[in-house]
Structure 1
Amino acid sequence: MPSRRRLMKAGLAAAAFAATNVSAQTAHETASRSSASGELPHKLTIISIRQEDGRETMGVKTAVGVLDVVAATKLLGLSAPLTLEELLINAAYAEVNILVETALKAPNAKAAFLDESKIKFGRLFTRPGKIVCLGLNYREHIEETSQKLPPQPILFNKYNNSLAPHMATVQLPPRDVCYKFDYETELVVVIGRKASNVSIDDALSYVAGYAVGNDFTSRDLQLERAGGQWMVGKTLDGFAPIGPYFVSADQIDPNNLNLETRVNGEVRQSSNTAKLIFNPQRIIAHASRLFALEPGDIVFTGTPSGVIAGYPKEKQTWLKAGDKIESTIQGLGTLSFVLA
C-alpha cells in the first residue's frame, strides 16, 4: 500500500506538471491572439546562436545574459519559436515574452543564460522570402560614383546563399572570377506584417525591427565583367553579413541613426540615415505597390559615401583576404567579419 509520503510526492509532481501545461497553454493562446491581431515585437533584442549540432537558434538579450531559447524551453517545459524567422512569421511574441519572464524568475533556468562573449553567432536570417536591396540612396554616394539622382528607388535583390552571421569569415572567390571587393554598411529593415500597397504614413507600422547589414560587393562583376550585373556582383556566397542583433522597432528611430564602416580599424564611411534619399517608410510604400512584403522579408536600404568605388582610380585599393570589416549603426551594435 502506498505510503502517505509517496502519495504527497506524486500529488505535488502532478500539480507541477499541470501548472506547466497550463502556462504553456496560456502562452500558446496568447500568442495566437497576437498573431491574429498583427502585433509586433516590443522591447526585444535577439541574436542567433550556433548550437553544437549546427542549428542556428534564437537567443534573447537580457540584463543578466543571453537567454538560449532552446535550453529554456527544455528546462521550463514551455513552447516558443526557436528561430527569429519562426518568431516573425508566427508573430509568437507573447510566447517569447512569457519564456523570458519565467526564466528570469526560475532558479532552474539559470543554465539557459549565456555570456554573450562566449557565444558562437549563427545567421539571424536563413531563409527570408525576399531580400530587397536599394542602390544609390545617399546623395553623396551618388556624386562620388558619378551617377544620376534616381527619380524613384532602385531595387535589386540578393539570395539566401549570401546570408552570413556576425563574426563570419567570408571566403572570397578566386581572382579570375572577381577581385574588386568593396564594403557597404547599411540599415536593414525587417518586415513584421504583410504590407501590400501601404501608404508612406503607415509604412513603419509594418516593421518588426532593424539590424546592421553589409551589402558586400564585387565591383568588377557589378559594373564591368559580363556586361556589369548588379545581382551577380552582390549575391555571391556570404556577401550579405547581418548582425549581431535584431532590435525591435519600438526601440529605434530609423530616420536618425549614425552609421560607420571601419576597415582594419580605419574609418571609411561615416554618415546618418537622415541623409537617405528614400527613407524606410518611402521604400516600404514604393515596394509594396509592386509586390507584397511578408513577415520575415528584409530590406537593405542603401549605403552612404566612402566606398572604394568612389575613390579616384589611382587610390582604389580593393579589399583582400585578411581584412577585417566592422559596420556600426547607432542602437544596433557592430557587425564584424573577416575576409579569407
Structure 2
Amino acid sequence: MLPLLKPHSPSGKRLMTFLIAVIGTALFWLTGLPLPFLFGPLTACLIAALIGVPLRGFGQVSVGARSILGVAVGASITPELLGQLPQMAASVALVPVYIIVIAVIGVPFFHRVCGFDKVTAWYAAMPGGLQDMVVFGTEAGGDGRALSLIHATRVLIVISIAPVILTMGMGAELSNPIGAPARDLPLTEMALMVFAALFGWKGGERIGLFGAAILGPMIVTAVLSLAGLIHTRPPAEGILFAQFMIGLGIGVGYVGITLVEFRKDVLSGVAFVLVLALLAAGFTEVVVYFGLAHAVEGFLAFAPGGQAEMTVLAIVAGADLGFVVVHHLTRIFLVITCAPLAARLMIGKSGR
C-alpha cells in the first residue's frame, strides 16, 4: 500500500472520510431523502465519528467551499435589494434584542445549570460563528473543546430540524433550483465568480476580516453584481460541492468525543438549542404578526444556525436570500464585535 493511503496517515484518513461521505450522499440520493449532498455526508460522517472511525477534515478545501456560498450571497445583493433595506429596518432592529435575550438566558444556563466557568458559559451562549466563538473563548481562557462541541451541536440540530419545520410546519418545498448547471453559464461570469471567491477569501484573511471565507467573496461579488457584471448564482455543481463539504465538516467535528464530553458538552448544547428554538419561534411570530416578513423568511432569518448552513436552506427553500442574509450578517457582526467587549466588562467585574 502506498504510504499516503495507509489508513492512519493524514491522507488515508481523508480518503476514508471522503468515501464515507460519498456513501452517505449516495444512500440519501437513492432513498429520496431531502438534501442528500448536505445530510448524506453529515449523517454518515457523524455516525462514523461517534463509533470511533479515524476521520479527518479537509482543512482549507472545506473553508474554500464556503467561499462558493459567499459568492451566491453576494450575487443576491442587487440594486433592488438595496432599495428594500428600509423595509427591513424594523425586523433587523429586533436582532440585537434577540441576542441580548439569548445572553440573559444562556449565560446563567451554562454557568449555573451546566457547571461551566463564566468565560466558557459566555461564549457558549453567544449565537455567533462556530470558529469565531471557539477562538475568542479560548483566547479569553475558556474551554475550547467544550465550545467547539456545544456550537457544533447547535449547528447540527438546527440544520437537521429546520427542514422539518420548513416542510411540515410551513409548507415550504426544498426543491427550489439551486442554480443553473455550469454549462449554461457564461464563461466570463464564472471567471469573475472564481476571482471573487479567491480574492475575497484570501484578501479578507489578510486584513483580518471575520468569516473571511464567506464575507470576503460576498463583498467582492456584491460589488460586481451592483456593477452589472454578475447576474446569477454560482453553478449548481458548486453549490452542491459546498453542501457536501459543510455536511462532512459537521460530522467530522465529533471525532474523538469522549463519554464525559458527550454527557456534559453535547447534552448541554442540545438542551440550549431547545431554548434557542423557542426564542427563534417567538421572534418569528413577532415579525410575521406585524407583517415584517413571511413565515419562511422570518424563520430562516432568526434560526440560530450557521450563516453558511442557513444560506443553503434559504436557497433550496426559495426564500428571499437577501432578507435572510441581512439578518444573519447583523447577528454575526454584533456578536463578533460586541461579545468580546461585553465579556471583558461583565466577567471582569464578577470574576471567573
Fold similarity call, TM over 0.5: no
Q: TM-score, normalised by structure 1?
A: 0.25
Higher strand share: 1
Between Structure 1 and Structure 2, whose CA radius of gyration is higher? 1
Higher relative contact order, chain-length normalized (CA < 8 Å, sep 6+):
2
Higher helix share: 2
Q: TM-score, normalised by structure 2?
A: 0.25
